């Protein structure tokens, strides 16, 4: 019978790490790559039987996951973030895949995002497929912030009811912190591709982004939080284009006289 290693990257995740590890207690090995946490993350992980390896992230998520691949002992791997949990249906499916041990395939896992204890099933939030379960051989990861798992296997989608649970935001402060970070990153990427922003982009792109999330993708079905997230997606999109417009422009003192 084949075996499974679970890889978890963590830094200061003492509030999440225990539930994350417990959701994959069925695995043959759990490896936590700890980015030198200054809370109890490594101690909690070790107390639950995980192998803890301390290694600096250095701002490169893909390189950290590739490093983690060098720490595993088994042929099948499951990438898991500390703010994610494996549901019971997904756990059963993972065990069946590993037992069958058909190493021709990599599996796309659906994710069900929760915010303020509410599942987000509409507005483009679900099924949010990501490759997470696959053979370790030949696998590596690229991308500093939004990593891509690189492999040569045929991809298969798991069923929508075999989902991974994801808690992307702790609170609104965390949400807006991510919004600020990712809009800056998006603006820089657009600039690298030669794109420029105009006044019309401040108006049309945000309106369409919010309309698509709330109406076209059915965000209204998620109730109040669906409406709020669609409104904030308007500001996310606007901030992205505003930041693009002002990249490389100065904001210096220009004198006291008109």
153 plus 193 within the same structural domain: no
110 plus 176 within the same structural domain: no
pLDDT score of 196? 94
9 plus 117 within the same structural domain: yes
Last residue of a domain, one of 150, 166, 182: 166
What ranges in the chain are assigned the alpha helix state H? 17-22, 41-47, 61-69, 88-100, 172-192, 199-211, 223-246
Report pLDDT digits (tens) over 11-36: 999 999 999 999 999 999 999 999 99
Q: How many domains does the chain have?
A: 2
Q: What is the mean pLDDT of residues 99-104?
A: 97
184 plus 151 within the same structural domain: no
99 plus 80 within the same structural domain: yes
Integer Cα distance of 46 and 222 in angstroms? 38
pLDDT score of 228? 96
Q: What is the mean pLDDT of residues 96-114?
A: 97
Integer Cα distance of 4 and 67 in angstroms? 17
154 plus 180 within the same structural domain: no
C-alpha separations of 37 from 32, 68, 146, 245 in Å: 12, 16, 21, 37
Q: β-strand 29-34 against 51-54: which pairing, if any?
A: parallel
Which sign, positive or negative, has the C-alpha torsion 180, 34, 136, 74?
negative
Q: Which two tokens stand for residue 105?
A: 């395939």
Q: Specify the CATH number for the domain of residue 156.
A: 3.90.550.10
Give the H/E segment covering residue 135. Answer: strand 130-135
With respect to residue 93, please indicate whether it lies within any of the assigned structural domains. yes
50 plus 79 within the same structural domain: yes
Q: Which two tokens stand for residue 196?
A: 């420029």
98 plus 14 within the same structural domain: yes
Integer Cα distance of 169 and 236 in angstroms? 15
Report pLDDT digits (tens) over 193-220: 999 999 999 999 999 999 999 999 999 9
40 plus 122 within the same structural domain: yes
The three-point CA angle 100-103-106 to 5° equals 105
157 plus 208 within the same structural domain: no
Write out the residue range of the structural domain in which residue 143 sits: 4-166
Mean pLDDT for all residues in the chain: 95
Percentage of the chain lying above the pLDDT 90 cut: 90
pLDDT score of 75? 97
Report pLDDT digits (tens) over 60-71: 888 999 999 999
Last residue of a domain, one of 115, 147, 166: 166
Report pLDDT digits (tens) over 122-163: 999 999 999 999 999 999 999 877 789 999 999 999 999 999
Integer Cα distance of 121 and 114 in angstroms? 9
Last residue of a domain, one of 114, 149, 166: 166
Integer Cα distance of 80 and 214 in angstroms? 29
183 plus 154 within the same structural domain: no
pLDDT score of 147? 87
Contact 54, 11 (CB under 8 A): no
Given a cut of 70, whether residue 258 has pLDDT beyond it is no
41 plus 152 within the same structural domain: yes
Contact 153, 105 (CB under 8 A): yes
Integer Cα distance of 34 and 13 in angstroms? 9
Q: pTM score, two decimals? A: 0.87
């Amino acid at each position: 019978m084949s075996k499974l290693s679970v890889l978890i990257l963590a830094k200061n995740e003492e509030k999440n790490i225990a539930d994350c590890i417990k959701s994959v207690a069925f695995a043959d090995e759990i490896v936590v790559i700890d980015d030198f946490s200054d809370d109890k993350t490594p101690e909690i992980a070790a107390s639950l039987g995980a192998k803890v390896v301390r290694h600096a992230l250095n701002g490169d998520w893909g390189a950290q996951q590739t490093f983690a691949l060098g720490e595993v002992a088994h042929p099948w791997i499951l990438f898991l973030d500390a703010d994610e949990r494996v549901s019971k249906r997904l756990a059963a499916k993972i065990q069946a895949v590993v037992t069958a041990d058909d190493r021709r395939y990599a599996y796309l896992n659906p994710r069900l995002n929760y915010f303020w204890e509410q599942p987000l099933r509409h507005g483009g939030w679900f099924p949010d497929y990501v490759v997470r379960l696959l053979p370790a051989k030949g696998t590596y990861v690229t991308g500093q912030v939004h990593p891509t798992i690189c492999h040569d296997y045929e991809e298969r989608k798991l069923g929508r009811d075999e989902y991974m649970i994801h808690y992307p935001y702790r609170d609104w402060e965390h949400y807006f912190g991510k919004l600020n970070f990712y809009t800056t990153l998006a603006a820089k990427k657009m600039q690298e591709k030669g794109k420029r922003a105009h006044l019309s982009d401040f108006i049309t792109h945000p309106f369409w982004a919010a309309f698509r999330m709330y109406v076209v993708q059915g965000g209204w079905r998620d109730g109040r939080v669906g409406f709020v997230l669609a409104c904030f997606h308007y500001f996310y999109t606007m901030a992205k284009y505003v930041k693009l417009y002002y990249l490389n422009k100065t904001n210096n003192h220009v004198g006291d006289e008109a």
